[in-house]
Homo-oligomer: A and B are copies of this chain.
């Protein structure tokens, strides 16, 4: 396919993708679900699980192999920018203040699902078609452990913000715990990816490079980047030059982390955390978020959905596996966090709310799964089972939160009405 043909295709694909995401997103909203849930599902529906199952010819014509590369690069850019903006919004001071209180919830919300995931991996490596043949037992255990302990941190942040819970005990606790969990899970993933490279030299490069990158960015980098903030305050806005420099740093960070063998999203996220706060952060959000979230991110959901084959979950055995994964996910994360919060002195309702919020996997799970699939750690069947788990736990979050916490808190006037 020539470049001009690809570009014609691209516009048509994007129309279909944006339309599907908006339509399913609208339906999701009517059912009290956030937009992101709709887009996760829209991606799966555009893939072989629905459209490709009933209209295989149409699906092949709309997504020819050549065009998938464009979609992939756009998806990486979108998810990298999104994680960069999540980093820009990340409140390190919140994190510091609550680090002790959040530790209990976060550690149990990490250790329990990690152990459950690792144990499941021991079983799954014996079943053909789940893990790839190259994956060793420790790698499989680490990967599934990390994948189980991930939390939909940006989504959790959004729900807390939307419900006006940002300053409350519940909000701070859940946010801090979610952040710690995700940071730890990404570190484990980095180890898996590194060990999945061509030997220990590659692993050392990745781990050392990643740690060095993180430490330098959050110390010297942060101080150097502060001048961007000063420049923005002086101009009263982010000029095209400032935005250009910021995007240069962003592409460099993504390239560097990709290059040393960990993923571009790490590079983007850490750079975002190191960026100046205040006017600079607010203006950056305003200038980049709309296009990144509305146009680029749907490319990620679609690419992920095109790899999701729910038709592979077709035997009693696969149903059983899907069910066990789902139960392990909910038990390991939701119940463990609830228990930790209870033992930490929170009341029953608050503890349940924390468990519910931490249990949602959202976009983060899709990112980690796509990395695993793309690096050949897992195969399509396990990928699809895990996507199903991510969708169900994310779908659960809003209604269960409303049921265990929202309606009571709203009755007491502690919660903003959900718009």
Contacts and interface: CB of A to CB of B under 8 A. Distances in A.
Interface of A: 3-4, 6-8, 10-12, 14-15, 18-19, 21-22, 25-26, 35, 66, 68-70, 72-73, 76-77, 80, 238, 240-241, 243-245, 247-248, 251-252, 254-255, 258-259, 264, 286-288, 290-295, 374
Contact of A11 (B240, B264, B287, B290): B264
A399 B244 CA distance: 26
Give the oligomeric copy count: 2
Nearest to A264: B11
Given A70-B69, A72-B3, A288-B291, A244 B18 contact: yes
A298 to B, nearest CB: 9
Contact of A8 (B35, B68, B241, B258): B258
B374 A251 contact: no
B7 A76 contact: yes
A383 B341 CA distance: 68
Given A3-B72, A26-B241, 17 more contacts: A6-B73, A7-B77, A8-B259, A10-B73, A11-B252, A11-B254, A11-B255, A18-B247, A22-B241, A238-B290, A243-B290, A244-B294, A247-B294, A286-B287, A287-B291, A288-B291, A291-B292
Contacts of A247: 14, 18, 294-295
Given A11-B255, A287-B291, A290-B288, A4 B240 contact: no
B21 A244 contact: yes
Contacts of A11: 80, 251-252, 254-255, 258, 264
13 contacts: A3-B68, A3-B72, A3-B374, A7-B258, A12-B259, A14-B251, A15-B248, A18-B247, A19-B248, A247-B295, A286-B287, A287-B290, A287-B291
Given A264-B7, A287-B291, A22 B245 contact: yes
Contacts of A15: 248, 251-252, 255
A376 to B, nearest CB: 11
A294 B374 contact: no
A112 B259 CA distance: 54
Contacts of A6: 69, 72-73
A264 B4 CA distance: 11
A294 to B, nearest CB: 5
B69 A294 contact: no
Contacts of A245: 22
A21 B7 CA distance: 24
B8 A255 contact: yes
A270 B14 CA distance: 19
Contacts of A77: 7, 10
Contacts of A291: 287-288, 291-292
Contacts of A248: 15, 18-19, 22
A244 B264 CA distance: 26
Residue of A8, A292, A294 most packed against chain B (CB within 10 A): A294
Residue of A70, A248, A255, A290 most packed against chain B (CB within 10 A): A290
A293 B240 contact: yes
Contact of A286 (B4, B35, B259, B286): B286
A159 B251 CA distance: 31
A100 to B, nearest CB: 37
Given A11-B255, A287-B291, A291-B288, A3 B240 contact: no
